[in-house]
């Protein structure tokens, strides 16, 4: 993104959202009533099961569309896979897993592109639509808004523990990790649009602190997060106490160091979890105080209970303060 900022990119009045504020997807107005939402994402396997990997990769790719409040329509497979060394059956299972999530999203797979690569990678380029006046961005946080998070933190630590063979596919931490990473952000997207939420971001590689910091700068606001209200995976907490921590988590924490004030009362394992890189993570959303009751009631009526009020937006220089 930093390199892109140095290039003479063209401007267009119908380009509602681009990459400038760390946005998850580009949004382009086609007509007064229709805007096109476009994004792409792919990565290396985080689990051994190719079918599950396909599901996770697609759920992660669709999240960029959902967090904008859009409905995904079309998808193209983005595949890196070796011509030699791995069987075609593995690739087939990856694509089958991905297709189950596309069907759940009611989006159409219309092709894709593949390259010969010794390290498998998979994801999607996705196109969706939304009304231009209902686009959800990460730059509309307002003073007084309440912060909600929809998935517990810790999948990055669990993925590292799994790769280290500290638990198997038959153990509860694996099932918990996979359940979170394969869950679409479809339901919360529809709830946000219905209620009128205008600011959100999904939590992925930069962790909660990193993506919250993007929101703070994009909105020019200060965010307060209460560590005790943030949901964490219990097994991830246990592995963090054991020192099973991805290198990227330390990088995330170091990156945020000068702009995030963390209370000295907060334990080290919680600090790490707040910066834990998530794959197909939840959504951090800003709910205006006057919409709090409507938001929670709408979510519960739809059978969606995975929302946690973790903080608030206040006036001040763009930054984050983490309190106990």
Distance CA 59, CA 182 (A): 6
- 255: exposed, middle or buried (Cβ count in 10 Å: 0-12, 13-18, 19+): middle
Q: Which residues of 262-277 are buried (b: 16+ CB within 10 A; e: fewer)?
A: beeeeeebbbbbbbbb
**pLDDT of 22:** 74
Distance CA 52, CA 94 (A): 7
**pLDDT of 1:** 61
Domains and CATH numbers, the chain: 2-134 (3.30.1330.10), 146-323 (3.90.650.10)
CA triplet 226, 228, 231: central angle to 5 degrees?
A: 100
Per-residue pLDDT of the chain (324 residues; tens, 9 = 90+): 667 778 888 789 999 998 876 787 999 999 999 999 999 999 999 999 999 999 999 999 999 999 999 999 999 999 999 999 999 999 999 999 999 999 999 999 999 999 999 999 999 999 999 999 999 999 999 999 999 999 999 999 999 999 999 999 999 999 999 999 999 999 999 999 999 999 999 999 999 999 999 999 999 999 999 999 999 999 999 999 999 999 999 999 999 988 999 999 999 999 999 999 999 999 999 999 999 999 999 999 999 999 999 999 999 999 999 999
**pLDDT of 9:** 80
Distance CA 255, CA 21 (A): 17
**pLDDT of 128:** 98
**pLDDT of 20:** 75
Tell me the per-residue pLDDT of 167-222, one tens digit each, with 9 for 90 and over: 999 999 999 999 999 999 999 999 999 999 999 999 999 999 999 999 999 999 99
Strands 222-226, 121-130: pairing kind: unpaired
Q: Which two tokens stand for residue 143?
A: 């003073």
């Amino acid at each position: 993104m930093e390199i892109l900022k140095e290039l003479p990119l063209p401007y267009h009045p119908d380009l509602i959202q681009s990459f400038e504020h760390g946005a998850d997807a580009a949004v382009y107005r086609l007509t007064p009533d229709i805007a096109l939402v476009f994004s792409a994402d792919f990565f290396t396997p985080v689990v051994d099961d190719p079918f599950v990997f396909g599901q996770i990769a697609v759920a992660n790719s669709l999240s960029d569309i959902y967090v904008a409040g859009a409905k995904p329509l079309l998808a193209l497979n983005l595949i890196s896979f070796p011509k030699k060394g791995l069987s075609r059956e593995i690739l087939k299972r990856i694509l089958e897993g991905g297709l189950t999530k596309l069907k759940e999203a009611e989006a159409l797979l219309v092709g894709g592109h593949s390259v010969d690569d010794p390290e498998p990678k998979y994801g999607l380029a996705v196109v969706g639509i939304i009304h231009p006046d209902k686009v959800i961005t990460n730059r509309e946080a307002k003073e007084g808004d309440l912060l909600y998070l929809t998935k517990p933190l810790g999948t990055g630590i669990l993925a590292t523990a799994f790769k280290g063979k500290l638990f198997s596919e038959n153990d509860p931490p694996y099932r918990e990790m996979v359940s979170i990473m394969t869950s679409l952000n479809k339901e919360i997207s529809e709830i946000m649009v219905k209620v009128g939420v205008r600011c959100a971001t999904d939590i992925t590689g930069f962790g909660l602190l990193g993506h919250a910091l993007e929101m703070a700068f994009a909105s020019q606001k200060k965010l307060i997060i209460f560590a005790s209200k943030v949901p964490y995976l219990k097994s991830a907490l246990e592995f963090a106490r054991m020192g099973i921590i991805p290198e990227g988590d330390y990088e995330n924490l170091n990156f945020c160091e000068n702009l995030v004030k963390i209370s000295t009362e907060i334990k080290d394992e919680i600090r790490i979890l707040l910066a834990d890189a998530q794959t197909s993570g939840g959504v951090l959303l800003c709910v205006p105080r006057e919409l709090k009751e409507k938001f929670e009631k709408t979510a519960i009526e739809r059978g969606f209970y995975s929302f946690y009020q973790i903080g608030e937006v206040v006036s001040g220089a763009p930054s984050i303060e983490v309190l106990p």
